[in-house]
Chains A and B, each alone.
Chain A
């Protein structure tokens, strides 16, 4: 027996119409989101609306007013109250869906316990610097957990999907220009010196596009569709509205691949 109007009473009815989207797997999946800034806000929003139930969110920072042009889950009062980003996002995620459980971890990703990397099915990197990305890349790779890294800069964006042990990792794609950025930061910071780091331009359209791609790739992974994920990285140019999917190869001297083999 069916009942008129049943379709519209099921929160996931429209999602279930996508054949490969396995809602049981989506809801059972364990997602680790690193960063609760612009990308992190969008990623959590998309994950929750997509049906994710178990999310761990890590961020060390508090909300400031300049976050409000691109962070859908922050409010004026959050910046006035200098609230922790992770806690605010976790609270607002429950407004979107009371059944979701977002565990907020206020701290650096380097402080995450080792078990966290293997207890999740997928890691989403919503970070803002290369050093943190390398940390996430190494720990996720070592534990065999897929890592989806997102990055934006103005109207430019990128998403890389790393599925150990078959794909190249983030470190495989680095060159001297990346290390120069890291070196400059490290050489300019210390107990008595503060390195001036200019704020980057960031806006919601590119952020939402990049985070949406990250979440979609995560859904593919938890639904067992690793065959359909990005190989290996996509670069987005928001001015031209163009996407380029680029293949990478494993760097023979990359310590992660050497240690893995």
Chain B
């Protein structure tokens, strides 16, 4: 067997092998009392935008794409979601202290306005998660209003 063929075979074994790597799935049927959308009342357009553009990585329930089952994609997603939830978890927003809620709202506004979120790699595949200029404005305005209404 030539070296090239050996390398291909090795790669193949590796690709098949990593398919057995276990990953934790971020899914829950339960909507917690502490969910952002229960803690605060949001109009329907805001709710929908949050659910399609933010909740996949910033809540306890991800709407997984089909290719999630393929490694190393699922491993990558798992890390993204873990980090995303560490920074901001909408499912647990109600547990945050008022101080933390306010600073999170400020960060959310900045991230939207500066086009940092949703992540470009996420938007690449989730075309529907991309925020139009109009929707960006709508979200930012609503979040600013909410932040200013908190004591």
User: Do the two shown chains form a genuine complex with each other?
Assistant: no
A residues with a Cβ closer than 8 A to B are: none
